[in-house]
Amino acid sequence: MGVVIIDGSTVKNFVTDEEHFNKSMDESFAALDLNEDGVLCRSELRKAFESLRLIESHFGVDVATTPEELNQLYDSIFDKFDFDGSNTIDPQEFKSEMKKILLAIADGLGSCPIQMALEDDDRSNFLKKAADLEAAKLVVNHGGGS
């Protein structure tokens, strides 16, 4: 268990760094694709959002939300991802919707940092990836010398 601190620019840098972003999303997608059929079904996507607790922070749902309401919410999120209505999410749909969501989160965070508690082995957590990328850049910048 570790704690990372992220703010809007951390998230934005992550999304706009296309090479890293695409690689991270491919890794996340593979980790989420539990039955390894190359697409995400409803339960696989739901698991992803449950583990991230993005629902509470981004979609403004409080803890008193009923299971029925949560089901509806996850269904509506799935439909947003499922751009072509195929009832599955392919890697391209995943990337493009994640980009939108992350940019919206970045706008919401602004320059006000939040702390996130994370499991160390949480491979599918892209906010951790964002923080890791930022940390790696800092190391590069400081290590460069002059």
Question: Contact residues for Ca ion (CB under 5 A)?
Answer: 33, 35, 37
Fill in the DSSP letter of residue 89: B
The least distance separating Ca ion from the CB of residue 18, rounded to whole angstroms, comes to 25
Q: Give me the least distance between CB of 90 and Ca ion, in Å please.
A: 10
- Residue 81 has which token pair? 């991802």
Smallest gap from residue 138 Cβ to Ca ion (A): 36
Nearer to Ca ion, 11 or 40 (CB): 40
Min CB(40)–Ca ion separation in Å: 5
SS3 130: helix
Residue with smaller CB distance to Ca ion, 43 or 76: 43
Nearer to Ca ion, 16 or 87 (CB): 87
Pick 34 or 61: Cβ nearer Ca ion: 34
